[in-house]
Structures are given as C-alpha cells and as structure tokens.
Structure 1
Amino acid sequence: MPRYAYRARNARGQSMEGVVEGPNDAAVAEQLAGDGLIPVEIRPAGGGVLSLNAPLRLPARRPSSAEITLLARQLYALTRAGVPIIRGLNQLADSTRNARLASTLREVVDDLESGRDLAGAMARHPDIFSPLFVSMVQVGETSGRLEEALLRVFRYLERERQTVNLIRTALRYPAFVVVAIAVAIFILMAYVIPVFAQVFERFDLDLPLATRIIIGVSNVVAAWWWLLLGLVAGAWFGFRHWTGRDDGRLWWDRQRLRFPVIGDIVLRASLSRFARAFAMASRSGVPLLQALNVVSRTADNAFIAGRILGMREGIERGETIARTAAASRVFTPLVVQMITVGEETGQVDDMLDEVAEFYESEVDYDVRRLGETIQPVLVVAVGVIVFILALGVFLPMWDLTQIAGR
C-alpha cells in the first residue's frame, strides 16, 4: 500500500508530521480527520506533492557534489561505528537539509527493506548516485568491505570536487578572455565593419581578399544574428542529447582522450580509478571476471570501460591480466608493467595501489598547471584573430590614405 507523508494540526493548533499508509490521498485525509487532526499537506512519501492548503512549491533542488561527498563520509562513519545501514540511512534522511536527497534516502531504505542490496537500491536513482558511486558500493558489498568501499568513494568524490574547483579556477581567466573577445568581435562585425564597408564602397576600392571575407561575414552576422544564435543553441542541445545515448557517449568519450593536454589528464584519471577499484576487489577476493565487470564502470569513460570488459575474453582463454591489458591498447606501459610485476610476485593489488597513487598525484599536478598551459595558446589565438581583423581593415585604409595624398 502506498505511503504518504503528511503535515497536519491538532485541536490545539500544534503542527504535526508523520507518514501513514493508505490507498490514496483522500483516504489518508479521512484517516487523519478521524484521529482529530486537520490535514494541511499530504504527499507521497517519495514523490510529488498533493497539497490541500499549501502553496505551490518548486521542485526540490538536486544535491550538490559537496552534499553527495558529505553523504559518503557520513555513511562511512556510520558503517565504521557498526550502525545498521537501514538505521544509518534513516538518520541521514532526517538530518539532511536537502529535501530531494532525504526523499531519495527514504526510497533506498524502502528498497533495502524489500530485499534489494544497497548498490541496487542506489542504482535506481542515477540522478543522485553516479555509476562510480554505485559500482564502488557494489565492489564493497561483493567483497564484504563496504566500510572500505565507502571510504574510497568519499576520498574519490572529495578529490574530484577539489579537481573540479582547481579546473574552474584555472579556466576562469581564459574563459573571461574568450567571452570578452567573442563579444568584441560580435560588436565589430555587427556595427563597426558595416561602417567601414560603406566607406570602401563609396571610393570603389579594389578590396583585398581578407577584407572581402570580413565584410561578407559582417553582413551575415548583422542580418542573421538571431538565426546564428539559434543554430548554436540548437547544436548544443542536440549534442547533449546525442552524447546522452550509448553510441554518442562512446564516441564522445573516445574523442575526449584525443584532446591535447585534457585527453591525457582524463586517461590518467580513469586509469587511477580503475587501478584503485581493481586493487580493492582483488584484495577482497572477488572473482577476476566478476571484478572486471564491476570495476569497468568505475572508469567513468564508456570507451575505457568497453576495453576493460573486453579483457574478459582473453582471461577466459587463459591469458594473463598483463597480456590482456596490453592487448586492449588503452593502458599505459606503466600500468602493464606494474601488473606484470604484481602477477609475478603475487601482489597485483599492491602494485595497482602504487599506480593509482602515482597517477592521482600526476593528475593533481597537471590540473594545477592547466591554466599556465592554456594561457600561451590563448594569447597566440587572440593575436592571430586581432592580426586578421587589423589586416582586413587597415589595408584598404592605407589605399584611402594614398588617394587622399594624390
């Protein structure tokens, strides 16, 4: 029977809240009235609002990355303290300030009580729990090391949040410069260049190719700027929709690895997550094929995940992990070499932990230097744009100066 959360007032006018079961909201209202309560609001325990006298409310805000990171930290602390997972989730749902997160946690509790595992319950809420979060929890449940898995999730989310903040800080100045240059070019094309074009037409000059191109672009921008903005917005939303599909995401994740500077950072970050998760699964005694299936989703890259899953075929034929990793052509020589040493010494998990720590430190260093790497490229690009505009405008002005001198 559905569960409904209610807010009501008793005979003394005191506010009361709770959760009851009923076939529908009308039956719940009758039940509350029979108990001497005046219902103010009734809503499904995990969904939308069925308001009686309450004003219309906006949808609950999606939890931020900081709130999800804090949730992982709290789950780890509660699990380490020996608190049962259902009781811990109920406590977190009552203490969180985000209504959407609280509702999601209560739904996870309902799924746990109905027999689902924690990873399966979290997987039903992909807008809250990322595939990496779910996969790490699944590894922890499979290996009996849920406490360690939650700690890994917290450390990863905290590191990722710090990395995102570093990237935003590094890109803030270049982004501001790019936006300013784009606005300046738009103003030049829409308002300034047409004035020069009228002057050049009046003197009937033989314009250089660069000037003719600039005037042609200016005419298009001045006449069809609204259509250009619409095309850009449509292309952006179409791209987002396509990359949300499996084939589009696979193509995009593969292209991301080919970007200069950024692609190398994405690759090493994905390999560090794989190494950390695989080491934990190997140390916990998870069967190798099952570990590859679970760990592949921690890469957070569809192309790399597909190559990791492809390793199962070679292992089923009796090949070593190192050989199948080398055949996948996605692992760096360092990873392959460390896996080889680990297989020879029987310490694959320790070797992969070393790989993860090495790549994590490298990614952190490269992200901190990202702004320094982008700024020279940006300066050169801006210089080229300014040179082309200046060349296209001032060459005809030089001809006008010669005509005036005659």
Structure 2
Amino acid sequence: MANGTITFLGSSELGQKKKRHPRRKKPRMPGIKKALFLKDSSEQNTRRKGQKLKLEELAIFVNQFAVLLRSGVPLVAVLNMLVEQTENKMFHDILVEIRELVSEGMTLSQAFARYPDVFPQILISLVKAGEMGGDMAGIMLQAGLYLKKQDEIEKKIRSALVYPRFVFIFFLFILAAVIYGLVPKFKDTFSSMGAELPRITELLLSTSDLATRYFYVEAGLVVLLVLAYKQMKKNPHGRRVFDALLFRIPVFGALLLKGTVSRFCNTLRVLMDNGITFVDAIELAGETSGNVVFRQVLRQLRDDVIEGSTMAAALARQQLIPAAAVRMISTGEQAGSIVPMLQNVVELYDNEIETRINSISTVIEPVMMIGLGIIALIVILALYLPIFNLGNLSY
C-alpha cells in the first residue's frame, strides 16, 4: 500500500501474499448492489451476536484506522497495532479474529460482515466501496467523521430526555415519600384529637390509606406495565405503535423527529458522496434510523424514487417529514447539489436541537421548583391545619 491505497488485502506485514484457506473462500457476489449489502451466513456471523460496541468507541477505532492507513501502514499491520491498543476485551478478541481472516486473504468488508452486531451495515458498505474504488484511507476517514457525527446527534437527543426523566422520577419519589412515609405518621395523631378534619386533610389521609392498603397491587401493576412495555417493543405491531407515539410527545416528539431526520440526511450524504447509488443509499439509511415508523417512510420513499419520483416530491407526500427539510432537499435537487444540501439540513437541525435543549433546560428548572413548592404547600396545609384549628379551639 502506498499513499493510503491498498495494493492487495491478503498480504502479510512483509508484503508476501498468503494462500487462501479453502474453508474461508466465499463465492463472489456479482453486481455492486449485492456487494454493498454483503452478508455472511457462516456460523461465525452469530458468534458475537448480542455483543455491541458503543458508537463513540467505534468512531475512535475507525478514525485511528484511517490515520494509520493514510500514513502508509499496511492493512494487517494496522490491525496488529489496533489489537495492541484496544482495551475492550470483547472488541480485542474480534479484532484478533478479523486480523487472522484478512491475513488469510479475506477482504476487510467481508471480515467486518461476520460481526454485524459490532460493525453496522453502513460501515461495511463504505469499506466495500473503498475496496472497489481503491481509496480505503479516504473512505475510512469519512466513515469515522460520519460515526462521530451520528454519536453527537444521539447524545443530543438523549440529553434532551435525561432532565425531564429525572424530574419525573424525582416527583414520583417525593410523592411516594409523602404518601407512604410522612402521612401515616400523622394518622394516629389526628384520630386521637377527635375533632373534625379539614377537607384537604381527609383527602390526603384517604389517599395515603388507600395506597398503603393496596401497595402490593400497585407494585404488581408496575411490574406488569414494565413487562408489557418490553413485550410491546418486541412485537412488530407494538413497536410500530410505540415508535409512532414517540413522535407525538409534546415538545420532545419534535426533537426526536428532527434528530431522526438529521441522522437520515447525514447517512444519505456520506453514502452518496462515496459513490453509492441513491436507491441503495436510502435503503442503507433506513437501517440506521432506529425507528420503525420512519423506516416505513423511507421504504415508501425508495419505492417512489424507483418509480420515477424526485426525492423531494416523495418526501412531501409523507406527513412525518418536516416541511423545511423537504424545501431544502427540493432546492438541492433542482440545483444539482443534493449532497451539500443534505449537509445543510444536518447542520440546521443540529443547531435547532441544541438550542431547543438549552431552552428546555432553562424552563424545566423553575417549573420543577414551582411543582415542588405546590406539593410542599399542600402537604403542610393538610397536615398542620388540624393542629392549628385544635390550638385555636383550646384557646
């Protein structure tokens, strides 16, 4: 390899070709499309099933891979160096196996395809495109930047949901402490008074008594809800309903949708920029969307484009896609610069997501304080009004 271009993939570190092992030899798949969607049906394909790598770790690995290739280091030597540097035990073992496969003559994309839970299909397709085009280093560099961008988008979306989730759990904790812990301690005191209790106190005592009496029923309902949630996500119809509801959550649903559109445009941009056809790029982008409903939209988009529709016209027929994204993509198609326009869509929604997250964080804090203040006021009035009334009567 010279200047970042791989001369042959089945070479050792000394530049000597090794013979292919008969058991490793795979039939050639004619056609670019089949090559891009390369799958491996061998038993090694499921050896690491269920073991995943964080997107951030994968992005670092791919970036290191690209830097070493561009420095003129042979492919097997690159794998040797990365094996030595990897601290993740699971990923270390996988890289050792990949190094052996490549040393025996298998291409890097074929070796990656044996571990689909570790290497996403889009990375495998980009590596295959690099092997076919002869610029592996350049492709790996773009793949690393793509994975880093995807990781940033996902972190922004997660951060938008972390604070509201924390606030909700905190409110539940406070309510549980009041209902199950604080109120029962006052019950005997109020009973010994023999006086008529204010309406707010009676309501709080009744709620606490009911919750305490049926605690095991409530705990059972919580367990059933958790199990139902997990089962719904496993069931195709249930997952579709759940994913559709995610986009309908007030405020946060719009953030999730824009984050999903941003990921899609970023994936499509990288694939098209590296010579992958528009139709194949849409299919691959659908696999990375992570949302069943959005994946259905992309399948329909792909079918419409195959039938001759423009991308913007096909997207406009889908009510899920924001109008701003449709207009920008339409402008890019008309100007013949769809890839740069996809990048503009990504930047637009990334900035909007970041701004909205900051706004939400600013608003939620005072709302949380007001909510806690209201709870505290209700509890204080309910528990201490009878004591104040009794004191007034005695006086």
Give the TM-score, by structure 1 length. 0.70
Query: What corresponds to 2:144 in structure 1?
Result: 154
Fraction of identical pairs, as percent: 23
Alignment partner of 1:80 is 2:67: no
Q: Spell out, residue by residue over 1:335-392, the C-alpha distance to the aligned partner (whole angstroms, 9 max, x if none).
A: 1111211221111112111111222232233334442132133223323333433343
Change (3 A) 1:229 1:120: farther
Query: What corresponds to 1:94 in structure 2?
Result: 84
Change (3 A) 1:184 1:209: same
Query: What corresponds to 2:305 in structure 1?
Result: 315
Name the SS of the counterpart of 1:258 in structure 2: coil
Query: What corresponds to 1:118 in structure 2?
Result: 109
Mapped partners of 1:278, 1:167: distance in 2: 20
Query: What corresponds to 2:345 in structure 1?
Result: 355
Gaps of 5+ in 1: 1-43, 49-60
8 Å CA contact 1:208, 1:396 repeated in 2: yes
How far off its partner does 1:326 sit? 0.8
Change (3 A) 1:110 1:247: farther
Query: What corresponds to 1:134 in structure 2?
Result: 121
**Structure with bigger RCO (C-alpha 8 Å, 6+ apart):** 2
8 Å CA contact 2:160, 2:252 repeated in 1: no
Q: Spell out, residue by residue over 1:120-151, the C-alpha distance to the aligned partner (whole angstroms, 9 max, x if none).
A: 8357342x34xxx4324424534747545543
8 Å CA contact 1:167, 1:368 repeated in 2: no
How far off its partner does 1:202 sit? 3.4
Mapped partners of 1:365, 1:263: distance in 2: 15
Query: What corresponds to 2:9 in structure 1?
Result: none
8 Å CA contact 1:119, 1:135 repeated in 2: no
Mapped partners of 1:82, 1:306: distance in 2: 43
Mapped partners of 2:226, 2:219: distance in 1: 11
AA aligned to 2:91 is L
Say how many residue pairs are matched.
345
AA aligned to 2:342 is L
Name the SS of the counterpart of 1:330 in structure 2: coil
Change (3 A) 1:258 1:387: farther
Query: What corresponds to 2:262 in structure 1?
Result: 272
How far off its partner does 1:242 sit? 3.4
AA aligned to 1:322 is A
Which has more strand, going by share of residues?
A: 1
Mapped partners of 1:169, 1:97: distance in 2: 27
How far off its partner does 1:327 sit? 0.8
8 Å CA contact 2:112, 2:124 repeated in 1: no
How far off its partner does 1:75 sit? 2.3
Alignment of structure 1 residues 346-385 onto 2, 5 Å = 346-385=336-375
Alignment of structure 1 residues 125-274 onto 2, 5 Å = 125-126=116-117, 128-129=118-119, 133-139=120-126, 141-142=128-129, 144=133, 147=137, 150-159=140-149, 182-207=172-197, 210-223=200-213, 225=215, 228-229=218-219, 231-232=221-222, 235-236=225-226, 238-274=228-264
How far off its partner does 1:94 sit? 3.2
Mapped partners of 1:134, 1:370: distance in 2: 35
Query: What corresponds to 1:404 in structure 2?
Result: 394
AA aligned to 1:138 is S
Change (3 A) 1:157 1:207: farther
Alignment partner of 1:299 is 2:292: no
328, 351, 357: which one aligns with 1:338: 328
Change (3 A) 1:203 1:257: same
Mapped partners of 2:167, 2:301: distance in 1: 45
The CA RMSD over aligned residues, in Å, is: 3.8
Mapped partners of 1:291, 1:106: distance in 2: 31
Question: Quick check: 208-217 or 321-330, which moved more?
Answer: 208-217
Change (3 A) 1:282 1:82: same
